[in-house]
Structure 1
Amino acid sequence: MDRLWAPWRGVYVVNKSGTECIFCEKLNAGVEKDFENYVLYRGDNVFALLNIYPYNNGHLMVVPNRHVGEIEELKLEEMQELFTVIQLMVRVQRSALSPDGFNVGMNLGKVAGAGIPGHLHIHIVPRWGGDTNFMPVLADVRVIPEGLEATYAKLKQALERIV
């Protein structure tokens, strides 16, 4: 088995303080740190942020503000706002990035692939025709064509135009 040593991912998987999950830390850091934390949107019950380890350019997540890991534990107002913000973020991505389609979904539980199983989150991954190529197959490498800062700026501008 090949191993990839990636110690920089440790802060993503295990936070610095050990007291909060990464989503709670980003939410509680405050609005003044939104750019630094790539938080695009803050609502009453949910927030949206870029994934710092994206599957594709513009990959973002919509997350309940409340630390909740099970879909059955969501309150009605959280579920309603989750899907309202998912719809909004798809509109924002369409406007800013012009993707051909989207993957929208969540991994519930560690065995299902949830990297942070204690705090439910929904992924929105923009897709383009031809964005899957030989690199992941032959080299197990994803090519992300744009930096997070540039993508964040495009999405934030589109959000401001739409809202």
Structure 2
Amino acid sequence: MLGRMTSEPEQQIGVGSPDAFQRLWTPHRMAYIQGENKPTGPGQDGCPFCTIPAKSDEDGLVLARGEQVYAVLNLYPYTGGHLMVVPYRHLADYTELNEAETAELGLLTKRAMAALRAASGAQGFNIGMNQGTVAGAGIAAHLHQHVVPRWGGDTNFMPVVGHTRVLPQLLADTRAMIAAAWPAD
């Protein structure tokens, strides 16, 4: 039963009745929760990381393209500027990368950090990849490395208590800002 704290006897609150809670509705997250566009097998069918490179930078939220890997904003970010570095080749495990892919993944990660510092004043980063579904990979079939910018005090009550992330900027605007700050080759 949901209700507000009061000295009055507890009352049953029905559907749609007001209570003491503020709500932020994020229906766009249902696509992620329900696994929309997640590849289900070993092939490339339906893999968003395989289809993004064919889109324009703006439509695909691509920040930079290398020969082996590219950088793209995360559609479901933890913080503003949360991006991923992704190999073009459809593979699941870090050990499957060849030497050129491994080197360029590292290089674009460094450039992503520099761009995020220049564009948003990021003070730190969480960088990593989840290998396999049991390790938390949302799209386990296609390797991707997360670059999550951090700032002092950026963990607040919203994600901790409300299980909601507040992003101050539209993804298209974030993409343009970071792309403009991306270091030259």
With the shorter chain as reference, the TM-score category is: 0.7 to 0.9
Structure 1 residue 63 corresponds to structure 2 residue 89 = no
Instruction: Give 1:11 deviation, angstroms.
Output: 3.9
Instruction: Give 1:147 deviation, angstroms.
Output: 1.2
Within 5 Å, give how 1:12-27 maps onto structure 2: 12-13=37-38, 19-27=45-53
Structure 1 residue 77 corresponds to structure 2 residue 100 = yes
Larger Rg: 2
Instruction: Give 1:12 deviation, angstroms.
Output: 4.2
Stretches (4+) displaced over 2 A = 4-15
Instruction: Give 1:97 deviation, angstroms.
Output: 0.7
The one-character-per-residue Cα deviations of 1:66-108 (angstroms, maximum 9, x if unpaired) are 1110111110111011001100111111110101110000000
Other-structure match for 1:48: 71
The one-character-per-residue Cα deviations of 1:15-61 (angstroms, maximum 9, x if unpaired) are 9xx8241100101x24xx21011011111100000001100000000
Instruction: Give 1:7 deviation, angstroms.
Output: 3.9
Moved more, 139-148 or 101-110: 139-148
CA–CA distance in structure 2, aligned partners of residues 7 and 140 of structure 1: 14
Within 5 Å, give how 1:1-163 maps onto structure 2: 6-9=29-32, 10-13=35-38, 19-27=45-53, 29-30=54-55, 33-159=56-182, 162-163=183-184
Instruction: Give 1:14 deviation, angstroms.
Output: 5.5
Question: What letter corresponds to residue 109 of structure 1 in structure 2?
Answer: G
Backbone CA RMSD of aligned residues: 1.9
Instruction: Give 1:120 deviation, angstroms.
Output: 0.5
- Among all aligned residue pairs of Structure 1 and Structure 2, give the percentage whose two residues are the same amino acid: 46
Structure 2 length as normaliser, TM-score? 0.77
CA–CA distance in structure 1, aligned partners of residues 67 and 76 of structure 2: 26
Structure 1 length as normaliser, TM-score? 0.87
Question: What letter corresponds to residue 58 of structure 1 in structure 2?
Answer: G
- Count residues in correspondence: 153
